[in-house]
């Protein structure tokens, strides 16, 4: 049996924040083109391919195991009753089986909580779509995966050719060694104490301290939970001691930047203005999509001296400005976006969260689209400069844990959800905007070509709209998810994005 894997505090926080109104899973809506003349059962073919590759994604066969009294973060453990038929489902749409009906259905399904008694993912395959296409809706809990890990998982599940040769597996060993029994708790504690004393018997080495670790029991009984928590606190103290000089330097540089007289005006943007989008959400979702040409977006960004991410924010800012003007609710101050930043190194495919974020003003108070984009580019640069010194410390902080936090955090989240505080408190951000780089080559699953790969993300109380974009081939695939009580017709906002790209192109063409 595979060894239990303790969730980091960052991963576990998505479990603690979850309420019936705020499911904390992410997902995607993929559209496939079946091969010409295909006569098989695509659902069974697809399911067979996933089943054949589950060994390459072992986290998909694990479920949650809580600690006694929810004192500490839960662990991922192997699901001994794993059944792929409880994870992949054949779905159907009422006539006319079109994209509008599919998006409405995905919005409805994305509002439903995942079953924590099983592995926290589900696939739904929609057949009989127009044009011999198939839709695939995927939902995976954010405690298990982030956008970067999602793309790594995509590479595991999908192929780069329509009909790949059969996979070559290594021959299984004829005899397997019996699993070693976990050492007694006293032995684990003794080993941990020896490791700790041995570390301090040598001159302090910051590099060694950064990688310092103590053994864990991995069990869920009270004594083991307490001992593992103590080991985690000791580890955290050692790593914080190693990082303290660098953290102090980063804090000093950031404080100096904040106190710079030329940037005092930036402080007012640290509190986002209140808008109709920043209210409590219901347990219903509305979902919308649009595809924009990556080459066009990149060309305008290059002409402006910015990145694709800057362009995504500028397009999003444009539609938000339009929408709020239409509803006579555009604030005088610019809206703020929460922008996740991946900490994932190239080639890292671990199924966990490796991300932190920054807040970037969206310049929605500026009417001229060219000036708005230039302002966003400048603000994004300043935001990156502000948070970049702290990137290396995020993994240390995200590993910190507090005894009793799971229960306390869940009670606090439920209280916030029921209290309506999000309707009266100023929002930290107005909208979440995320850009996930995707594959540039065509992908296939069970012989069908992947046409579109739209992300489906998370909204929360006080932030009723999430705009996530993922690149695929020469396409930018936008997925907009919204609280349906706030933005029931979110597709109207998505459709505005094509117009905003036209406006930005024209603004820079006139200046050329």
**CATH number of 284's domain:** 3.30.559.30
181, with CB counted inside 10 A (0-12, 13-18, 19+), is exposed
Regarding whether 277 and 237 lie in a shared domain, the answer is no
Regarding whether 290 and 194 lie in a shared domain, the answer is no
Regarding whether 279 and 382 lie in a shared domain, the answer is yes
Regarding whether 304 and 364 lie in a shared domain, the answer is yes
Give the separation between CA 416 and CA 418, rounded to whole angstroms: 6
Regarding whether 227 and 99 lie in a shared domain, the answer is no
Query: Quick one: tokens of 322?
Result: 């339009």
Other CB atoms within 10 A of residue 271 CB: 13
Residue 279 lies in a domain: yes
Domain count, the chain: 3
Give the separation between CA 235 and CA 254, rounded to whole angstroms: 27
Strand partners, 476: 292, 471
**CATH number of 93's domain:** 3.30.559.10
State the DSSP code for 279.
S
Residue 421 lies in a domain: no
Strand partners, 433: 467
Regarding whether 336 and 392 lie in a shared domain, the answer is yes
What pLDDT is stored for residue 311 in this prediction?
96
The dihedral through the CA atoms of 481, 484, 489, 493 has a sign that is negative
pTM beyond 0.85: no
Residue 110 lies in a domain: yes
Regarding whether 28 and 130 lie in a shared domain, the answer is yes
Residue 167 lies in a domain: no
Other CB atoms within 10 A of residue 62 CB: 20
Regarding whether 219 and 313 lie in a shared domain, the answer is no
Regarding whether 134 and 61 lie in a shared domain, the answer is yes
Residue 162 lies in a domain: no
218, 233, 262: which is the final residue of a domain?
Answer: 262
The number of angstroms, rounded, from the C-alpha of 449 to the middle of its chain's C-alpha atoms is 25
Specify the length of the chain in residues.
512
Assign 207 to helix, strand or coil. Answer: helix
What pLDDT is stored for residue 175 in this prediction?
46
Residue 166 lies in a domain: no
Nearest to 373, CA basis, from 323, 438, 439, 300: 300
Residue pointed to by tokens 């190239």: 346
What pLDDT is stored for residue 148 in this prediction?
44
Residue 468 lies in a domain: yes
> Is residue 220 a contact partner of residue 67, using CB atoms and an 8 Å limit?
yes
262, 280, 299: which is the final residue of a domain?
Answer: 262
Residue pointed to by tokens 């790209």: 501
With a cut of 70, which residues of the chain have pLDDT below it?
A: 1-2, 146-153, 155-156, 167-212, 214-270, 342-356, 387-405, 510-512
Give the separation between CA 139 and CA 482, rounded to whole angstroms: 16
Regarding whether 195 and 329 lie in a shared domain, the answer is no
Regarding whether 273 and 387 lie in a shared domain, the answer is yes
Regarding whether 273 and 394 lie in a shared domain, the answer is yes
Give the separation between CA 369 and CA 240, rounded to whole angstroms: 45
Residue 168 lies in a domain: no
Residue 299 is part of which domain span? 269-401+426-438+457-511
262, 282, 315: which is the final residue of a domain?
Answer: 262
């Amino acid at each position: 049996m595979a060894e239990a894997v303790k969730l980091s505090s960052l991963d576990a926080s998505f479990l603690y924040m979850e309420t019936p109104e705020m499911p904390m899973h992410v997902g995607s809506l993929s559209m496939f083109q079946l091969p010409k003349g295909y006569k098989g059962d695509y659902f069974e073919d697809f399911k067979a391919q996933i089943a054949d590759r589950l060994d390459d994604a072992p986290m998909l066969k694990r479920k949650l195991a809580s600690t006694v009294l929810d004192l500490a973060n839960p662990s991922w453990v192997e699901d001994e009753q794993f059944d792929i038929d409880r994870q992949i489902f054949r779905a159907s749409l009422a006539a006319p089986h079109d994209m509008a009906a599919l998006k409405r259905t995905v919005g409805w399904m994305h509002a439903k909580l995942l079953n924590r008694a099983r592995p926290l993912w589900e696939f739904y395959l929609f057949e009989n779509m127009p044009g011999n296409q198939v839709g695939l809706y995927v939902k995976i809990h954010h405690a298990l995966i982030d956008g970067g890990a999602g793309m790594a998982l995509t590479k595991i599940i999908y192929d780069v050719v329509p009909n790949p040769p059969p996979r070559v597996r290594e021959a299984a060993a004829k005899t397997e060694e019996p699993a070693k029994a976990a050492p007694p708790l006293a032995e684990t504690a003794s080993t941990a104490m020896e490791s700790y004393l041995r570390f301090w018997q040598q001159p302090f080495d910051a590099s060694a301290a950064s990688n310092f670790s103590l053994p864990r029991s991995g069990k869920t009984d009270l004594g083991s939970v307490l001992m593992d928590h103590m080991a985690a606190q000791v580890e955290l103290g050692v790593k914080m001691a190693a990082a303290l000089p660098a953290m102090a330097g980063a804090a000093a540089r950031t404080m100096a930047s904040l106190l710079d007289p030329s940037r005092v005006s930036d402080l007012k943007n640290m509190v986002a203005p209140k808008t109709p989008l920043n209210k409590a959400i219901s347990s219903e979702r509305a979902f919308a999509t649009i595809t924009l040409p990556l080459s066009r977006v990149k060309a305008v960004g290059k002409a402006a001296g910015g990145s694709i991410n800057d362009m995504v924010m500028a397009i999003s800012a444009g539609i938000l400005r339009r929408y709020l003007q239409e509803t006579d609710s555009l604030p005088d101050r610019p809206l703020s976006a929460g922008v996740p930043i991946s900490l994932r190194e190239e080639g890292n495919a671990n199924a966990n969260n490796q991300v932190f974020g920054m807040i970037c003003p969206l310049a929605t108070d500026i009417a001229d689209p060219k000036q708005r984009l230039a302002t966003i580019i400048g603000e994004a640069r300043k935001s990156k400069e502000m948070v970049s010194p702290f990137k290396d410390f995020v993994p240390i902080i995200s590993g910190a844990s507090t005894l009793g936090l799971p229960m306390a955090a869940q009670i606090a989240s439920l209280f916030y959800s029921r209290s309506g505080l999000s309707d009266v408190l100023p929002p930290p951000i107005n909208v979440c905007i995320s850009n996930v780089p995707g594959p540039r080559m065509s992908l296939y699953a069970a012989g069908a070509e992947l046409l579109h790969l739209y992300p489906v993300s998370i909204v929360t109380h006080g932030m009723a709209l999430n705009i996530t974009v993922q690149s695929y081939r020469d396409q930018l695939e936008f997925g907009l998810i919204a609280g349906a009580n706030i933005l029931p017709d979110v597709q109207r906002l998505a459709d505005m994005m094509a117009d905003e790209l036209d406006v930005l192109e024209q603004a820079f063409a006139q200046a050329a």
